[in-house]
Structure 1
Amino acid sequence: MPKEAMLYRVIDESKKLVECSACPRRCKLLDNQYGFCGIRWNFDGKLYLVSHGLAIAVAIDPIEKKPLYQFNPGSMVFSMSTTGCSWGCVFCQNWDISQRRVIAGWKLEPELAVKLATAYGAQGITYTYNEPVVFIEYAYDVGILARKEGLFNTMVTNGYMTDETIDLVVKFMDAATVDLKGHGDRDVARKLSLVPDIEPVFQAIVELKRRGVYVEITDLVIPRYGDDLEKARKLARWVVENLGPETPIHFLRFHPDYKLLDIPSTSVKVLEKHAAIAKEEGLHYVYLGNVPGHELENTYCPRCGKLLIRRMGFDIVEVNLRDDMSCPYCGYKVNIVGRIHPTYKLDRFAYIPLEVYTEFIHIPSNKVREFVIGKKQGGS
C-alpha cells in the first residue's frame, strides 16, 4: 500500500517537484507523476512507493535458482517481488510483472512476509523476479525484520542503483546476484534495456562488495547482440581486477521472450567458449546457467580440479567438502559463504497459497490518487 519513500528529495516545494534517488535515472516528478519504474509516485509533493506491502509473486525456491551457488548452498529462500522495474529489457522473462503499470499484488505486510518465510522453512528471503531497487524501502522493512528472526537477505538485481540506495542496501542485505546483459556492454544496455548509462552498475558492484555484501555475477549471453568473445574477456578481466578471482560468474543461456522472439537460444558451444575465456583470465568459479546437466553447473576445486559440488539444474546431488568448506583432496579453502544446508536433500520448491492468508489488491495507476485520498479520509 502507498507509503512515503525514503529515497528522494524535494527540489521545489512550491511546484511540488521531487527527485527520486533510488536508481541513477533520478526521475524528476511533478504532482501525480510516476517514475520510469511505474511504482514510485509523487503525491502532493511527497514521493511514495505505491507497491509497499503488495507482493505480486511469492514462492519458496532453492537459492541456486537466483543463481547463488556459493552462498549458503542448498538453502531454501522465500522469494518475493512487486511490479515495476528500472530497466525496459525487450527480452524480459518476467515482463508481465516488471513492465506492468497497474498497482497490484497480494497484501503482504513485512511482518506477514517474515512469518510465512519461517513457517515454510526458508533460511532466507530473496527480493527477485522484478528489480528490488524500485521497491527497496519495502525490501528494507522486510529485511530488517527477517534478520531479527535469523534469516539472511539476498537480492537479484541489475545493479543500477545510486549511492543513496547502496547506503540502504548494506544495512540489511547479505548477498546479491548482479545480472549483466550482453557482458554489461554499453550499446546492448541502451538498445535492449533502455539504460542510458551502464557505468553506475559497475560502480555499484564494486561498492557492494567493498561494504560487505557477497556478490555473484551473471551474464546473459544474447546471440547477435551480446555474445562477443572479446567483450566477454574484457568483463572477466574486470571481475578479476575489481572483485577478485574468487568471484563466481555465471554465463546464462538466452531464451527468446517478450519482444525479442526472433533471436535463437544461445548455443551451448558459445557458452562454453565464454567459460573457457573466463578461466583463462583467472576466474576460479565459472558456471553455465539454463543448461541443466552440464558439467559447468558443478563447483570444482580451483587448485586440484576435483569435483566438490555436483548439481543438476537447481538441485545439489553430491557434496564433497569438509565442514570448514575446504577441499577434502588438497585442503584448498573454497569461497563459500555460510554453510551447506541439509535442506538440499529435500524438494525446495513450494507454492504458497496467499489467498489463505491475505487479499489481492488491484488499483489502476490513474486511480491511486483517489485511493490514497479515500484512505486518508477513512474510506474503504
Structure 2
Amino acid sequence: MSRPARFWVREAGGVRCTLCPHGCLIQEGREGLCKVRGVREGEVVSFVYGRPASVGSDEIEKKPFFHFHPGTRALSLGTLGCNVLCSGCQNWQISHAGASGGEAERLAFLSPSRALDMARRFRLSGVVWTYNEPAVWLEYVYDVAQVFRRAGLYTALVTSGFMTVDALDFVGPLLDAVKVDLKAASPEGWAWLTKIKDPQPVLDLAVRAREVHGCHVEVVSNLVPGLNADDTSVGIVASWVRDFLGVNTPWHVTRFIPDFELSYLAQTPLAVLERAAALGRKEGLRFVYVGNVPGHVSRHTTCPACGRTVIHRDDRGATEVRVKAGCCVFCGEDLGVVGI
C-alpha cells in the first residue's frame, strides 16, 4: 500500500517531485525515475515506505565508516529503487527494481518501532540506510531516525548524495553520519556512470551535512580504470575533499568489481588503488584507505603524528581501538574519530 510522500508541487502537465535534482514531472498513474515514487490521485506517494528489500546487521566498517563508532554493529536497511542508477551497481537487483507489478507490496512491512526492537534484540548500536539510495524512501528514514535518536542509538546514511537541500534539511537534524560517493572528477564521468549529469548537488550535500547539520562525513570513490582512476582525476577529488571537508576526512578509494552493465570491464588493479591512495596523502589527506581488497594493510588507522597504529581492523571490522575522545591515546593527536 502506498503512503503520502513529501517534496512535490503541482504544475501544468503533472506533479513535480522535488526530492532530488532530477525534478521529475510525473503524470497521473506514472512513476518517477526512481521507480518507487509516483503520482496517484494528483499527489506523490511512496510505494516503499516501511518495505525493506534487505535487512541485516553489519559492522559499521562495512559501510564503510572507519572513523565513526569503530567496532560497533548497526541495523542495515535498504529498499527497492534508486535515483542514481549506476551502470556498475553491485546491488542492481534491488536498486534498479521498481514498484510496478506489486513488487513492493510483496515485501514485509517493518514499522519504525519494530526496527528499533530488532536493533535492541541483537544489541546493535544504531541504524544505517544502505544497499540502495536512501533518498527514495526519505519519509521512512525520517521516522526511523526519530525512533532511534530517542532511544540513544546512532543514525547513519550511505548515500550517493543526490537530493535537494530541502530533502537534506528535512532529515539532516536526525543524522549522525553520512557516507557520500564521489564517483568521478568530471560531469562527463558522472554521466557515464550514473543518471547524474551535474554532480554539484552531491558536493553541496557533503559540505552541508557536515557544516550545517554537524554530521560526521566519510567519502568513497570507486575507481574504474579508464574513467576516474588516472592521476588527474584522483588529484581533483582528493583536493576537493581536503579543501571542502578537511584533511581529517576519511577517503576510501575502493576497487571496482565488474557487475551489471559494466561486467565486461576488468577489476581495478591493486597498483592503481595504492597509487591513488598515495596521491591522496600527497594532497594532504591524513586518512586514505584502500577498499574492496581483503587484508590490505591500509585497513588500519595510523596516527599521522606519532605513527602508532590506533585502530586495528580485520576484514569485518575493528578489533582493537586505541582512541579516546577522538584522539590518539599515545600522543593526543586529533584523529577525527567519532563515538569513542
Aligned to 2:7: 7
Q: Deviations over 1:231-289 (max 9, x none)?
A: 11111111111111111100010100111111111111110111111111111111011
1:62 aligns with 2:64: no
Query: Which residues of structure 1 form unaligned runs of 5+?
Result: 340-380
User: Matches of 2:322 and 2:111 in 1, distance apart?
Assistant: 40
Secondary structure of 2:220's match?
A: strand
1:269 aligns with 2:266: no
Deviation at 1:73, TM superposition (A): 0.6
**TM-score for the superposition, normalised by structure 1:** 0.85
Secondary structure of 2:155's match?
A: strand
User: Matches of 2:300 and 2:30 in 1, distance apart?
Assistant: 47
Deviation at 1:171, TM superposition (A): 2.3
Secondary structure of 1:117's match?
A: helix
Q: Which of residues 50, 65, 75 is equivalent to 1:53?
A: 50
Query: Which residues of structure 2 form unaligned runs of 5+?
Result: none
User: Matches of 2:4 and 2:318 in 1, distance apart?
Assistant: 42
Contact 1:84 1:130 in 2 (8 A): yes
Q: Deviations over 1:311-364 (max 9, x none)?
A: 12222233333x33322332212211112xxxxxxxxxxxxxxxxxxxxxxxxx
Aligned to 1:378: none
Two-structure CA RMSD over aligned residues (Å): 1.3
Show the 5 A alignment for 1:193-342: 193-211=194-212, 212-321=214-323, 323-339=324-340
Show the 5 A alignment for 1:23-38: 23-38=20-35
User: Matches of 1:273 and 1:304 in 2, distance apart?
Assistant: 23
Secondary structure of 1:287's match?
A: strand
Determine which structure has greater relative contact order: mean sequence separation of CA pairs < 8 Å that are 6+ residues apart, divided by chain length. Answer: 1
Show the 5 A alignment for 1:82-101: 82-101=79-98
Contact 1:184 1:219 in 2 (8 A): no
Aligned to 2:192: 191
The alignment of Structure 1 onto Structure 2 pairs a total of residues equal to 334
Secondary structure of 1:259's match?
A: helix
User: Matches of 2:185 and 2:135 in 1, distance apart?
Assistant: 18
Secondary structure of 1:153's match?
A: strand
**TM-score for the superposition, normalised by structure 2:** 0.95
Show the 5 A alignment for 1:48-197: 48-102=45-99, 103-104=103-104, 105-181=107-183, 183-197=184-198
Deviation at 1:185, TM superposition (A): 2.9
User: Matches of 2:63 and 2:306 in 1, distance apart?
Assistant: 28
Q: Which runs of 4+ in 1 moved over 4 A?
A: none
Secondary structure of 2:167's match?
A: helix
Deviation at 1:302, TM superposition (A): 1.6
Contact 2:182 2:237 in 1 (8 A): no
User: Matches of 2:297 and 2:248 in 1, distance apart?
Assistant: 19
Contact 2:60 2:317 in 1 (8 A): no
AA paired with 1:254? F
User: Matches of 1:162 and 1:267 in 2, distance apart?
Assistant: 35
User: Matches of 1:184 and 1:35 in 2, distance apart?
Assistant: 27
Deviation at 1:184, TM superposition (A): 4.2
AA paired with 1:199? Q
User: Matches of 2:240 and 2:222 in 1, distance apart?
Assistant: 16
**% identical aligned pairs:** 36
Deviation at 1:74, TM superposition (A): 0.8
Contact 1:140 1:169 in 2 (8 A): yes
Contact 1:184 1:198 in 2 (8 A): no
Aligned to 2:36: 39
AA paired with 1:62? E
User: Matches of 2:153 and 2:304 in 1, distance apart?
Assistant: 30
User: Matches of 1:7 and 1:133 in 2, distance apart?
Assistant: 11
User: Matches of 1:160 and 1:249 in 2, distance apart?
Assistant: 19
